[in-house]
Amino acid sequence: MIEKRRRDRINRCLNLLKELIIDSKRYPISNVSFSYNKSRFEKADILEITVKYLESLALEERRIYHQGFDDCRKQAIRFIEQELQRLDSNHIEQQQDRGNSW
């Protein structure tokens, strides 16, 4: 009886994974290295596709993080360059004003 409940729980979870990832087409089956031309997935197939999907999410998360970091770096460089140009212009104007006052 306990074993049957455990198996039922595993099967429920596997069916849920299949619905969430495979049936909803969140992760294209074409991204898996071997073809699934079956109408019914084995438990190992569902687990493997789920793992690959989670790995792809982790990769995408890292890519987005690095893109955000790179965007921030570029924005900081632009700000610093603009500020340096402004300071340089102010300095040149001050030097010209001093030269004119002699």
- Rounded to whole angstroms, the Cα distance separating 7 from 17 reads 15
Average pLDDT over residues 10-16: 95
Average pLDDT over residues 76-91: 91
Task: Tell whether the model's pLDDT for residue 6 goes beyond 90.
Answer: yes
At 98 the pLDDT is 77
- Rounded to whole angstroms, the Cα distance separating 22 from 28 reads 8
- Rounded to whole angstroms, the Cα distance separating 52 from 24 reads 15
* pLDDT 10s digits, 22-48: 888 777 766 565 555 556 789 999 999
Domain locations along the chain: 2-100
Cα–Cα separations (whole angstroms), residue 21 to 9, 67, 71: 18, 26, 31
At 50 the pLDDT is 92
User: Which phi and psi angles does 80 have, rounded to 5°?
Assistant: -65, -45
Segment holding 9, helix H or strand E: helix 2-17
Q: Which of 23, 31, 18, 20 is nearest to 60 (CA)?
A: 31
Tell me the pLDDT band of 92, cut-offs 50, 70 and 90. confident
